[in-house]
Structure 1
């Protein structure tokens, strides 16, 4: 103890209930952030694995529900922790809180650029000029700043944009599932079970490599805990409900597609749901699917912009980032502006043809960064919990997240490790001597 007297901060103005999210809206944000633009291409990505990828969806869904229970328990134990870095700090100390804040913030920013790129790809269905790298870059920038402006208007506005986009974006999937119900052929589904003839012990792990990416976003309600009306109750409800909704949608869509289109044909598709619907209902449905995909990806960008901004605000509140990102419950305008500027830089760099491979590495590392954050939060719950049931959930969540890192993207483990080396050096140089956290509500461990 240094004995230095620190001035007491001014009390923060709490957010009014009308500015907060109920558990239902928060659940839609969770589901919307998970069901991103990639869901429209996942059946084609999983075609080499075949319809046995259904098992992978169920395994990943069970793991995601476990992680949802982890975040729900953290929300009950620490309802005022203000996001993932707050959970990590209270359970494991400020070093892990610092690492969690920077890792999740980086994952939000870099991953969001990839989602914007996907939205531009769907827009290219209507305007082929967007296939040009320069035009695509400008479109990406426009989408990012559109979502940034929505967040600047207010977190609730961004949440409604994400929720409405989820409803619109589910339309082509609902149509695809309906087409699958009408034209489902058990023989086609069985023939596509394992196109390579490999055993399930090989095909299921192969499918997990793609599937784990689809469940990133399970932490959304916990990351927005300060914006949720009753965190102790609603974070858990929203997390579990969002994961279950996403899992049901993923499983239904997978069965529908593989029950109508043979795996060999599906592997060549660039729009599997449109192809399925056109087989059953006619080719004119492709344009409608593209419109819905654009709406969904724009909404997903909005949801992740909000997550990135709230993570930066919570980090600044604890002194992990400059105070310009926020110093209390309110999010200053500088926060989304700085986030938008960083995403703009990443967009421009990734739009250069010679840097495409580098951007792919960063995008893959996004998944690993998020999974490491899940593991840290699970460990924090194990430390904070007093009941054996909560500790068991924490242990399973930790093991699931660690296994997911190995399955999801092994080539990206090294750059992710490099990221944590850099942040650890930054901690040693700038943060270690700060004995008292900025947030007076955070207890020292």
Structure 2
């Protein structure tokens, strides 16, 4: 009898590529404009974030090897904090993805404004455009998963190709005087410059925590998963740093800070308006494709939690095509409220406000999940040099994450606290499902 063919597994290079692509998505395309408001000195934030992000990536790679249960960050937290830790991490991470969807929609509207100028004419017009796009991508998912994943896998290249290409060929148009003039218009100190854009740069790395989720499909997970996490994060960091640096030497700082489509503007300066227009179209396609996929992913995340009795039951209801429509509608309403609550004088300001809130609600789960690694290693019998190394790296990751929360600003931190309060209110109603009803003796 012939042996059943085993599915081919990924090697280190393939997994590294997947990690880098998963992070790069649409998170980068508005960053040059927002960083230009501070000046090119904000590029120093990349150095801090690159180190912190690689430490976080290493921590999650290790955690994924010790805990392969469904739930990701929440499952890691459960090892140390039980079901309440699971829910807290899940809820904050879930909300951070919802907030991130609104920020992605704003990125798309920013590039669409090139073709439909009225979208950036007033804050109300921008908000209307964002809400329309959120609901269009929500409704588009009512037909079930279908080709959503395939669409996202193709459209993501609408960002990766222009950004990656700019990192290589953009230096032929780099002007040293333009870069020097943009360096420090606000006269910040070196320390202030390094911390000025921490939330914006970290935003571009969000998603690295998903790297360990592919461990079952890897040839040598114990070796390749940690290495792929590090190499993928480092690769993305190189492209991020190169692209946002070179663009500061191509586009004058004032123009870059005011732009709602910075990469399209850069290509227009390098070549001609037609090429810039093509880059704008690619960016819009990438954002819409990314948003389409994330809308379904967030709804599916809510459904999985509801199936585990960790979330209201309405999120688990699906139609005949497998789409959790009720959950999607609730999420659409929440995203609409987010868009209305963060309405700002300019599109860039609204984007920055949402990014800061998303970072706060994302890195708090990072800290909780990473702090559970010590328990995971003890349960797995890990000791000696490996235990010490992992704890040192995780300590760096948690300290960086804590600094990122601080650097997000008072408004975002207050918003994160309010979100946590809502989470505990919801948990108060859900917790009895998991409590042992036996009386505990004093």
Q: TM-score, length-normalised on structure 2?
A: 0.80
Distance in 2 of aligned mates of 1:306 and 1:242: 25
**Cα 1:199–1:139, aligned 2, differ >3 Å: closer, same or farther?**
closer
Distance 1:104 1:58, change over 3 A: same
Cα distance in 2 for partners of 1:127, 1:89 equals 48
1:213 to 182, 203, 214: 203
Secondary structure of residue in 2 paired with 1:258: helix
CA apart distance, 1:46? 1.1
Q: Give the CA RMSD over aligned residues.
A: 3.7
Aligned residues: 413
Q: What is the match of residue 334 of structure 2?
A: 346
Mark the CA change 1:367 to 1:230 in structure 2 (over 3 Å): closer, same or farther.
farther
SS at match of 1:46: helix
| Distance change >3 Å, CA 307–CA 140, structure 1 → 2 | closer
Residues 271-323 of structure 1, C-alpha deviations (whole Å, 9 max, x = no match): 32222222221222121111111122123214433542453344235421245
> Which one of 66, 69, 72 corresponds to residue 77 of structure 1?
66
Paired position in structure 2 for 1:8? none
User: What is the Cα deviation at residue 338 of structure 1?
Assistant: 3.4
Q: Distance in 2 between matches of 1:258 and 1:371?
A: 29
Distance 1:178 1:54 in 2: 18
1:12 maps to none
Distance in 2, matches of 1:265 and 1:355, equals: 24
1:291 aligns with 2:281: yes
- For 2:28 and 2:327, how far apart are their aligned partners in 1? 26
User: CA shift at 1:397, angstroms?
Assistant: 1.5
> 1:281 maps to which residue?
271
Q: Secondary structure at the match of 2:208?
A: coil
CA 1:252–1:226 in structure 2 vs 1: closer, same or farther (change >3 Å)?
A: closer
CA distance in 2, matches of 1:86, 1:60: 25
Alpha-carbon separation, structure 1, partners of 2:299 and 2:117: 33
The Cα shift of 1:21 comes to 9.0
Q: 2:156 aligns with which of 157, 163, 166?
A: 166
1:251 to 241, 258, 261: 241
**Structure 1's 51 and 118: CA in aligned 2 closer, same or farther, altered over 3 A?**
closer
Q: Tell me how far apart the structure 2 counterparts of residues 251 and 269 of structure 1 sit (CA, whole Å).
A: 19
Q: 1:60 to 1:150 in 2, by over 3 A?
A: farther
- Residue 187 of structure 1: how far off its partner (Å): 3.7
Q: How far apart are residue 237 of structure 1 and its match?
A: 5.2
- The answer to whether the 8 Å contact 1:143/1:298 transfers is yes
Structure 2 residue 138 is matched with structure 1 residue 144: yes
CA apart distance, 1:238: 5.2
Give the gaps of 5 or more residues in structure 2.
1-5, 345-349, 437-442
CA spacing shift, 1:247–1:338, aligned 2, 3 Å? farther
The 5 Å alignment of 1:117-266 reads: 117-128=106-117, 132=125, 134=128, 137-146=131-140, 148=141, 152-153=145-146, 157-222=147-212, 224=213, 232-233=221-222, 236=226, 239-266=229-256
Aligned partners of 1:273, 1:362: CA distance in 2, in Å?
A: 21
Aligned partners of 2:13, 2:311: CA distance in 1, in Å? 31
**Corresponding residue for 1:381?**
373
Aligned to 1:109: 98
Q: Which runs of 5+ in 1 are unaligned?
A: 1-16, 437-445
**CA separation of 1:272 and 1:229: change in aligned 2, threshold 3 A:** same
Closer/same/farther in 2, CA of residues 390 and 58 from structure 1, 3 Å limit: same
Instruction: Using the TM superposition, give the Cα deviation of residue 218 of structure 1 relative to its aligned residue in structure 2, in angstroms.
Output: 1.8
Instruction: Quote the offset at 1:98 in angstroms.
Output: 0.9
Alignment of 1:17-28 (within 5 A): none
Q: Is the 8 A contact 1:116 1:298 kept in 2?
A: yes
Identify the range of structure 1 (335-344 vs 196-205) with the bigger mean alpha-carbon deviation. 335-344
Is 1:402 matched up with 2:402? yes
Q: Is the 8 A contact 2:342 2:354 kept in 1?
A: no
Pairwise mapping of residues 310-325 of structure 1 onto structure 2 (< 5 A)?
310-322=300-312, 325=315
| Residue deviations 1:395-427 (CA, integer Å, cap 9, x gap) | 222111111100123312122212222322433
For residue 304 of structure 1, what is the aligned residue in structure 2? 294
When residues 23 and 294 of structure 1 are mapped into structure 2, their CA distance, relative to the original with a 3 A threshold, is farther
